[in-house]
Amino acid sequence: MTSRRGFLGMVAAAGAVALASRSRVAGAAASAGTNASGAMVLTATDVHVKDYPTVKAVQWIGEQLARETDGRISIRQYHSGQLGRESEAIDMARFGAIDFTRVYTGALNNAFPQTQALCLPYTFDSVAHLRRTLDGAVGAQVLKGFEARGLVGLAIYDSGARCFYNTRRPINVPADLHGLKLRVPPSDIFMALIRQLGANPTPLPYGEVFSALQTHLIDGAENNIRSFHSSRQFEAARYWSETEHSYAPDVLVMSKSRFDALSADDRERIRRLAAASVQVMRGLWDQGANEARSKLLEQGVQMNAVDMAAFRQAAEPVLRAYRDDATVGPLVRAIRALA
């Protein structure tokens, strides 16, 4: 049983977690651990809104857990960044202050090098190529790598192609990016890519992008079409360009200390349900992505195709540097073998 004092103590141990986030996590403490009836309530976080596919997928896991255990185990979700940024959620999960978190792989690149292979530019050719990869040995190897740093990798949720969007102009060739200030996640890969394409990378948390676009702190960003729509960033950035430069997915991880404390049966149950939730998420994603595109066009967002060959050529030096890496290179070659 996790008391409020114990919960706060775990958060304090995660020295990388910001003070502001501690207060939010402390507020969630009452629902963490074991409730008055003796049932186990696990906490889950996500920066996305409540109807986002990854949030819905974890909700499905919680519903199935409650059903299979007759209410003995359930999940309490904190969506929309209620408990802070993704970087903070990673630390809180590592130190056992929260149980699950869904995190974009770009935010994991520096701490978990194997995730870099999933984020590199033009490594994947399509959603089908990505899904074949994630469902096979490469996906399993990436998930296994989280255990070295206090996490258990449970599932990889694909999230479509990432494209550039901005407040200034359509992007047709890499030269159109020159001089633009673009938000990037805290990943060396994305910093290098934006510089290689001639733009100025500006690392910002996902939750700060909308205001940064409105105040012209940045000129644009890159993300998938579902996030571009659900975050309402299209209200400020009216140009969407189909660069499809990365298919970087999301990962559902769990605190290893919490996972190890469960019975063998419950550990197997969580792994099984998390794996099954991938198909739940994909169904929601495919439907939502098509709806997002239609709604963005209705709202007057200008969408354009790009010179894909020019972008691939411009990004090649970034990909080449990582292909020579001892950890990332073999994974990249395995990904390309599945194309």
In angstroms, rounded to a whole number, what is the distance separating the alpha carbons of residues 141 and 257? 20
> What is the pLDDT at residue 94?
94
- Among left, alpha and beta (phi > 0; psi -120 to 50; other), residue 84 is left
- Residue 29, SS3? helix
Query: Cα separation of 110 and 180, whole Å?
Result: 25
- One domain, residues 154 and 167: no
Q: Which of 266, 257, 263, 231 is nearest to 100 (CA)?
A: 257
Q: Report whether pLDDT(27) > 80.
A: no
Cα 162 from Cα 170, distance rounded (Å):
16
Say yes or no: 301 and 321 in one domain.
yes
CA distance 66 to 72: 6
Tell me, yes or no, whether 18 lies in a domain: yes
For the ranges 20-29, 75-84, 96-105, 125-134, the lowest mean pLDDT is seen at 20-29
87 occurs within a structural domain: yes
CA distances from 114 to 137, 186, 316 (A): 13, 16, 19
Q: Has residue 89 been placed in a domain?
A: yes
Same domain, 267 and 316: no
| Residue 181: CATH number of its domain | 3.40.190.170
Q: How confident is the model at residue 35 (pLDDT cuts 50, 70, 90)?
A: low
Q: What is the mean pLDDT of residues 119-127?
A: 97
Q: Does 36 have pLDDT greater than 90?
A: no
Half-sphere exposure of 60 (CA within 13 A, CB side): 20
Residue-range definition of the domain harbouring residue 203: 162-248+290-337
Torsion angles phi and psi, residue 34, rounded to 5: -115, 130
Task: Give pTM, 2 decimals.
Answer: 0.87
For CA atoms 77, 34, 149, 27, give the dihedral sign: positive
Question: How far is 234 from 223, CA to CA, in rounded Å?
Answer: 11
Is 260 domain-assigned? yes
Q: Look up tokens 């702190």; give the residue.
A: 217
Q: What is the average pLDDT across 158-181?
A: 97
What pLDDT shows up at residue 3?
41
Are 98 and 217 contained in the same domain?
no
In a domain? residue 54: yes
pLDDT at 14: 42
Instruction: Tell me, yes or no, whether 332 and 185 share the same domain.
Output: yes
Supply the DSSP string of 210-270, one letter for each residue. Answer: HHHHHTTS-SEEEE-HHHHHHTTGGGT--EEEEEEEE---EEEEEEHHHHHHS-HHHHHHH
CB 281 within 8 A of CB 157: yes
Residue 142 maps to a domain: no
Task: Please say if the pLDDT value at position 103 is more than 70.
Answer: yes
Domain count, the chain: 2
283 and 167, same domain (yes or no): no
Indicate if the pLDDT at residue 6 is higher than 50.
no
What is the rounded average pLDDT of the residues 232-254? Answer: 98
Whether residues 89 and 153 share a domain: the answer is yes
Whether residue 36 is found in the same domain as residue 125: yes
Q: What are the pLDDT digits (tens) for 261-315?
A: 999 999 999 999 999 999 999 999 999 999 999 999 999 999 999 999 999 999 9
d(CA 240, CA 225): 9
64 and 180 together in one domain = no
Question: CB neighbours (10 Å) of residue 321?
Answer: 14
Rounded to the nearest integer, the mean pLDDT of the chain is: 91
Query: Does the pLDDT of residue 26 top 80, yes or no?
Result: no
- Pair (301, 268) in one structural domain: no
> Do residues 45 and 183 share a domain?
no
Burial class (CB in 10 A: 0-12, 13-18, 19+), 309: exposed
Secondary structure of the chain: what % helix, strand, coil (to 5)? 50, 20, 30
Question: Can you give the pLDDT at residue 84?
Answer: 86
Residue 112 lies in a domain: no
Check whether 207 has a pLDDT greater than 60: yes
- What's the one-letter identity of residue 5? R
Domain match, 257 and 244 both: no
